[in-house]
């Protein structure tokens, strides 16, 4: 807990384009461009939350699967 009035807390986050070099690297391994983009984005997401009840984690996993299935159509 930060109680010092001179202390500044921040969160590092950035938004930007996916590196063309990274995409090219993944695509040379036989991965499609769309799948390569998904891999890069999902690599930044930690979708497992420690201490979360199993039922809630299951619901999150199901929602993610539904979204993935919807984008595959």
Domain that holds residue 65: 20-71
With a CB cutoff of 8 Å and minimum separation 6, the contacts of 70 are none
Q: Is residue 41 part of a domain?
A: yes
- pLDDT at position 54, please? 92
Q: Is the pTM of this model over 0.85?
A: no
Number of domains in the chain: 1
Q: How many angstroms separate the CA atoms of 40 and 42, rounded?
A: 6
Which pLDDT tens digit goes with each residue over 2-54? 577 776 666 555 556 788 898 899 999 999 998 888 888 777 766 777 888 99
- pLDDT at position 53, please? 92
Query: Nearest 5 degrees, angle CA 24-CA 27-CA 33?
Result: 95
Q: Is residue 10 part of a domain?
A: no
Q: Is residue 61 part of a domain?
A: yes
Q: Is residue 35 part of a domain?
A: yes
Which pLDDT tens digit goes with each residue over 55-68? 998 988 888 778 77
């Amino acid at each position: 807990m930060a109680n010092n009035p001179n202390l500044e807390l921040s969160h590092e986050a950035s938004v930007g384009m996916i590196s063309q070099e990274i995409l090219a690297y993944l695509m040379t391994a036989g991965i499609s461009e769309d799948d390569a983009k998904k891999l890069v984005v999902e690599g930044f997401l930690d979708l497992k939350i420690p201490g979360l009840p199993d039922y809630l984690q299951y619901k999150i996993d199901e929602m993610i699967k539904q979204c993935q299935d919807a984008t595959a159509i």
